[in-house]
């Protein structure tokens, strides 16, 4: 997913989209799909990640596939502080969510993602209104330069509550990469359960 960076406030970002929990708090949850093309050592790699996440309850799942490489499929399940990961047809493994595959692969919170990018942007401008999957949004464009590792242009589409609906980015992170991340079906009820670890080392 998008690189995790220090967040900074740019505008009030409401978290009122989606359903509400029994305690009355707004539930921020959504499905997502990210498509990435990377040029690494002269080879072009196409990756696709789909999943759903509930940032209020901190539960969710994702499946990352690399075109033409079935064994490279990575499945992730997060339940609070527990991270479950499976490579291809291998066994499920469990670790803590922080600093694990869940931390690396879990989708960025769309309610704070704009703050994250604005905090590190070397340029930022409002492009104008646009529709994303029929939802009115405001289109922003910018660029970032974080040392030699992460640099390049990005575009964000924010709904009226400041929640990111779409993100596109180009960078030289792990080679030259182009990615597009879409969030949709906000308020979806995310259901996951811990997989069996039987047979795992």
CATH number assigned to the domain comprising residue 34: 2.50.20.20
Token pair 């979806």: residue: 188
Question: Does any domain span residue 44?
Answer: yes
Please report the pLDDT score of residue 165 as a whole number: 97
Question: Does any domain span residue 190?
Answer: no
Token pair 């990377």: residue: 38
Domain count, the chain: 1
Strand order in the sheet with 93-96: 93-96, 82-87, 69-79, 59-66, 43-54, 29-40, 176-184, 164-171, 150-158, 135-146, 121-132
Q: How many CB atoms lie within 10 A of CB 67?
A: 12
Please report the pLDDT score of residue 125 as a whole number: 95
Please report the pLDDT score of residue 71 as a whole number: 56
Closest CA to 191 of 53, 23, 56, 98: 53
Whole-number Å distance between alpha carbons of 29 and 160: 17
User: Which long-range contacts (C-beta less than 8 Å, at least 24 apart) are formed by 56-65?
Assistant: 56/21, 56/25, 56/26, 56/27, 56/28, 56/29, 57/21, 57/27, 57/29, 57/190, 58/97, 59/190, 59/192, 60/106, 60/107, 60/190, 60/192, 61/190, 61/192, 62/32, 62/105, 62/106, 62/107, 64/105
Please report the pLDDT score of residue 45 as a whole number: 86
Q: How many CB atoms lie within 10 A of CB 68?
A: 8
| pTM: predicted TM-score of the whole model, two decimal places | 0.81
Question: Does any domain span residue 198?
Answer: no
Containing structural domain, residue 42: 29-184
Please report the pLDDT score of residue 23 as a whole number: 39
Parts of the chain with a pLDDT under 50: 1-25, 201
Question: Does any domain span residue 14?
Answer: no
Question: Does any domain span residue 54?
Answer: yes
CA 27 distance to own-chain centroid: 17
Whole-number Å distance between alpha carbons of 46 and 42: 13
Question: Does any domain span residue 168?
Answer: yes
Question: Does any domain span residue 138?
Answer: yes
| Radius of gyration (C-alpha) of the chain in whole angstroms | 17
Question: Does any domain span residue 48?
Answer: yes
């Amino acid at each position: 997913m998008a690189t995790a960076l220090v967040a900074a406030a740019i505008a009030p970002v409401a978290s009122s989209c989606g359903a509400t929990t029994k305690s009355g708090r707004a539930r921020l949850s959504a499905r997502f799909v990210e498509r990435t093309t990377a040029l690494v050592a002269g080879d072009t790699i196409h990756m696709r990640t789909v999943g759903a996440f509930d940032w209020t309850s901190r539960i969710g799942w994702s499946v990352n596939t690399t075109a033409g490489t079935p064994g490279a499929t990575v499945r992730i399940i997060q339940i609070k502080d527990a991270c479950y990961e499976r490579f291809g047809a291998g066994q499920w493994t469990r670790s803590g969510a922080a600093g694990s595959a869940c931390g690396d692969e879990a989708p960025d919170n769309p309610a704070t993602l704009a703050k994250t990018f604005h905090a590190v942007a070397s340029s930022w401008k409002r492009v104008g209104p646009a529709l994303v999957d029929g939802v009115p949004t405001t289109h922003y464009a910018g660029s970032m330069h974080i040392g030699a590792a992460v640099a390049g242009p990005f575009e964000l589409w924010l709904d009226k509550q400041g929640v990111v609906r779409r993100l596109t980015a180009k960078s030289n992170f792990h080679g030259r990469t182009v990615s597009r991340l879409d969030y949709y079906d906000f308020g979806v009820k995310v259901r996951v359960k811990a997989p069996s670890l039987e047979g795992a080392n």
